[in-house]
Amino acid sequence: MLSAVRLISEAAELAARRHNGMARKGRGNEPYINHLAEVANLLARATDGADAELVAAGWLHDVIEDTETTHEELARKFSDRIASLVVECTDDMNLPKAERRRRQVVDAPKKSTSARLIKIADKISNVGARIHSDPTSDERGDLADYTDWAEQVVAGCRGGNAWLDTTFDEMVRTARASL
151 catalytic per annotation? no
Q: How confident is the model at residue 2 (pLDDT cuts 50, 70, 90)?
A: confident
Residue 93 near residue 106, CB atoms below 8 Å:
no
pLDDT in tens, 5-47: 999 999 999 999 999 999 998 778 899 999 999 999 999 999 9
pLDDT in tens, 57-76: 999 999 999 999 999 999 99
Which of 2 and 135 is assigned the larger pLDDT?
A: 135
Q: Where are the domains of the chain?
A: 4-178
Q: Is 66 a catalytic residue?
A: yes
Percent of the chain scored above 90 by pLDDT? 94
Q: Which member of 51, 53, 66, 92 is catalytic?
A: 66
Name the catalytic one among 65, 139, 151, 165.
65
The DSSP code sequence of 87-155 is HHT---TTS-HHHHHHHHHHHGGGS-HHHHHHHHHHHHHHHHHT--SS--HHHHHHHHHHHHHHHHHHH
**Calpha distance 120→109 (Å, rounded):** 12
CATH of domain 4-178: 1.10.3210.10
